[in-house]
Amino acid sequence: SDGGGWVELREPEVVVEEPSGPQPVVAVVGRPNVGKSTLVNRIIGRRQAVVEDVPGVTRDRVPYDAQWNGRAFTVVDTGGWEPDAKDRAAAIAAQAETAVVTADVVLFVVDAMVGSTDVDEAAVKMLRRSAKPVILVANKADNNSIEMEATSLWSLGLGEPFPVSALHGRGSGDLLDAILAALPEAPTILENRPRGPRRVALVGRPNVGKSSLLNRFSGEERAVVDSVAGTTVDPVDSLVEIGGQTWQLVDTAGLRKRVGKASGTEYYASLRTAGAIEAAEVAVVLLDSSEPISEQDQRILSMVTESGRALVIAFNKWDLVDADRRYYLDKEIDRELRRIPWAIRLNLSAMTGRAVDKLAPALNKALASWETRVRTAHLNQWLTALVQATPHPVRGGRAPRILFATQAGVAPPRFVLFTTGPLDAGYQRFVERKLREEFGYEGSPIEISVRPRK
Ligand code: GDP
Ligand code: GDP
C-alpha cells in the first residue's frame, strides 16, 4: 500500500442487479355482474377494488398491483358497461378493445351459474380477433355441481374454462398459475437488493480533484474494516466511510495510486469512467468550478444519465469561486445543465473541506429517488387528473388518449404509458415534468415509454 489509507479486499465479486422490465398487464373483461371486481379483489389479495352493488355501474379502468409466486403484474378492471347503453354490442366492443390495447393477457369472466349468453358470445368474437392470450374464467363456481356445469363453457371456443369462486377463493390458485403461465416472459421482482455498501462512482476529467476528495475520507479506514467484514469488494474498489456510513467507491485504484493520470490515454480514462459508472448505483461527477464546464464534463454527465444512474454533481474547488466567477458559472449552469435540472448539485471544496459533509445526504437522497416506487393506483389517480386538466393537443382532428400508466421498474424509476396512439414529444416531456413535480425524483433520471395501440 502507498499509505493512502484504503481498504482492499480480495474477492472480485460485485453483484449488479438488473432492474426489472415492464410489468405485464392482465385485463379483466366480462358482462356486468359476473364478478369481475370480486375477482380483481381476490387476485390482488386485499380489499382495494370497489365492488359496486348496482349492476352495470360504470367503473373507470382501474389498474392494481398484483403478484403471485414472486412475479409482479398489473391487473386492470376494465369496468362495466353504461347502464343504459343504447348499443350493447358497441359497449362490449369498446371494453374488449381497451383490454386488447392494454393487456398481455385477458381474463374473460363468465357467470358459471348462468352459463354463456349471447352477449358473452359477442364478446368472445372480439377477443379472438385480438390474438392475445385469453383465459376463460367460470366464476361463481361455488360448489362441485356448478363446477361440473362450467365444463359446458368449452363451447365458447376459448379452451379450458377455469372454474373459480371469486367470492370464496375456490380455484383461485389454479387460475393464478394459469395467468403466470400465459404472461410474457417476466422479470422476477427485486424486492431486496444485495445487502452491503452502496456503490458510488467518483468521476470527472483529470485535475478536477477526485483524488483530493477521496483523501478527505481516508482517515476512517479501521471503522470500515470492522463494520463490513465479510463483504466482497472488487480489489480496484475502496470502502470508505462518508458521513458515518460505509460506501463502496468503485474503481478508485487509479485514483489512489495516481497511475491513471500518468499513464492513461484519454480514451483509456474514458473507458474506465464508463466502467465505473456502470458498476455504480450513483455517480458523483466532479466539476472544476474555477473553469468553464467543458465538453469532456458533458460527456461524463451524459454517460451517467444514459446508463440510468443516480447523479450528484459536485462543483469542486469552490474556494476559488469569487463573485465574478459565480456570475459566469450560473450562466454556464443554466446553459450546459439545462437537460438535467434534477441532478443534485453541491458546491464543495476538497481542499478546505467546505460542504464535504453534504455529500452523504446528497447520495442518500439521490439513491432514495432512484429506488422510489409509486403505487399504481396513486400513479393513475394523479395521471387521470393531469390529463383531464391538460389533455393531449389535438392533431389533425384527433388526440391520443392515455389509458393508464404503470411503473415498470425502479433504479431508475421507469414508467409505461398505455395510450391509443403515439404521443407528441412535447406532451411526453410535459408528463415527465409533471411526474417529477408530483413525485420528486431529485437526483435520479426517470424513463417514460409509451405503448400505443397496435
Ligand atoms: P362485476 O360487475 O362483474 O364487477 O361483478 P361484481 O364483482 O360487482 O359482482 C357482482 C355480484 O356477484 C356481487 O353481488 C358479488 O358478491 C357476486 N359474486 C362475485 N363473485 C361471486 C362468486 O364467486 N360466487 C357468488 N355466489 N357470487 C359472486
Ligand atoms: P484528480 O485528477 O481529479 O484526481 O485531481 P486531484 O485531486 O489530483 O487535484 C488536481 C489539483 O487540484 C491538485 O493540485 C489539487 O491540489 C487541486 N485541488 C483539488 N481540490 C481542490 C479544491 O477544492 N480547491 C483547490 N483550490 N484546489 C483543489
Q: For residue range 275-327, what is the model confidence (pLDDT) as tens digits?
A: 899 999 999 999 999 999 999 999 999 999 999 999 999 999 999 999 999 99
Annotate 156-195 with b (16+ C-beta within 10 A) or e (fewer): bebeebbbbbbeeebbbeebbebbbebbeebbeebeeeee
Name the residue with cell 467518483: 202
Most confident of 78-92, 253-267, 393-407: 393-407
Please state the residue numbers annotated as binding site. Answer: 30-37, 77-81, 139-142, 204-211, 251-255, 316-319
Atom 22 in ligand 1: residue holding the nearest Cα: 140
Alpha-carbon distance 223 to 55, whole Å? 66
Ligand 2 closest atom vs CA 205: 3
Ligand 1 closest atom vs CA 109: 3
Please state the residue numbers annotated as binding site for GTP. Answer: 30-37, 77-81, 139-142, 204-211, 251-255, 316-319
Lowest mean pLDDT of 43-47, 229-233, 261-265, name the range.
229-233
Give me the DSSP letters along 44-84. HTSTTSPPPSSTT-----EEEEEEETTEEEEEEE-----TT
Atom 27 in ligand 1: residue holding the nearest Cα: 140
Q: What mean pLDDT, rounded, does the chain reach?
A: 81
Q: Is the CB of 254 under 6 A from ligand 2?
A: no
Half-sphere exposure of 367 (CA within 13 A, CB side): 18
3 state SS of 364: helix
Looking at residue 157, what is its pLDDT?
87
Residue 443 has pLDDT above 80, yes or no: yes
Considering Cα of 425, then 427, then 431, then 436, what sign does the dihedral take?
Answer: positive
Q: Percent helix, strand, coil in the chain (nearest 5)? A: 40, 20, 40
Rounded distance from Cα 29 to ligand 1 centre (Å): 13
For helices 172-182 and 36-44, angle between their N-to-C axes, nearest 10 degrees: 80
Q: Is the pTM of this model over 0.90?
A: no
Residue 183 CA from chain centroid, whole number: 19
Q: Is the CB of 205 under 6 A from ligand 2?
A: no
Rounded distance from Cα 71 to ligand 1 centre (Å): 26
Residue 158 has pLDDT above 70, yes or no: yes
Tens digit of each residue's pLDDT (9 = 90 or more) over 21-79: 467 889 898 888 899 989 998 998 765 445 444 444 445 566 788 888 888 888 887 76
Residue 12 has pLDDT above 90, yes or no: no
Looking at residue 2, what is its pLDDT?
38
Alpha-carbon distance 177 to 228, whole Å? 41
Please answer whether residues 178 and 18 qualify as being in contact, where contact means their C-beta atoms are separated by less than 8 angstroms: no
Residue 346's pLDDT band (cuts 50, 70, 90): very high
Rounded distance from Cα 33 to ligand 1 centre (Å): 6
Q: Which ligand is nearest to the CA of 56?
A: 1
Please answer whether residues 68 and 180 qualify as being in contact, where contact means their C-beta atoms are separated by less than 8 angstroms: yes
Q: Is the CB of 212 under 6 A from ligand 2?
A: yes
Looking at residue 332, what is its pLDDT?
96
Ligand 1 closest atom vs CA 80: 2
Alpha-carbon distance 214 to 218, whole Å? 7
For a substitution probing ligand 1, which of 167, 170, 172, 175 has the most ligand atoms within 8 Å of its CB? Answer: 167
Looking at residue 231, what is its pLDDT?
47
Looking at residue 98, what is its pLDDT?
67
Rounded distance from Cα 208 to ligand 2 centre (Å): 6
Residue 212: all three cell numbers together:
483530493
